[in-house]
Amino acid sequence: MKSYKIILVAVFFGTLSVTGSFATGSPDQSKKEPAWVKNIPTEKVIEWRRYIHQNPELSYEEMFTSE
């Protein structure tokens, strides 16, 4: 029973240390984007995503995804 409590406390503090390390990031770090992000054709990507979801090609019978 004592080893169970020790493991439980270790997991608890391990979880706290992991979540705390994510919270210490600087706010400016998350706002910076790579230069290539500006060149993504978002309208085209949205169009592709909608097409793929509306016309799924299943069971290894793909015809148009390779084009």
Nearest CA to 13 out of 2, 1, 25, 5 is that of 5
12 within some domain: yes
Distance (Å, rounded) from C-alpha 65 to C-alpha 67? 5
14 within some domain: yes
66 within some domain: no
63 within some domain: no
Predicted TM-score (pTM) of the model is 0.40
Residue 48 region by backbone torsions, left for phi larger than 0, else alpha for psi between -120 and 50, else beta = alpha
Distance (Å, rounded) from C-alpha 43 to C-alpha 25? 31
**What total number of domains does the chain contain?**
1
pLDDT band at 41 (very low <50, low <70, confident <90, very high): very high
Segments forming the whole domain that contains residue 32? 2-54
Please determine, for residue 20, whether its predicted confidence score (pLDDT) is greater than 80.
no
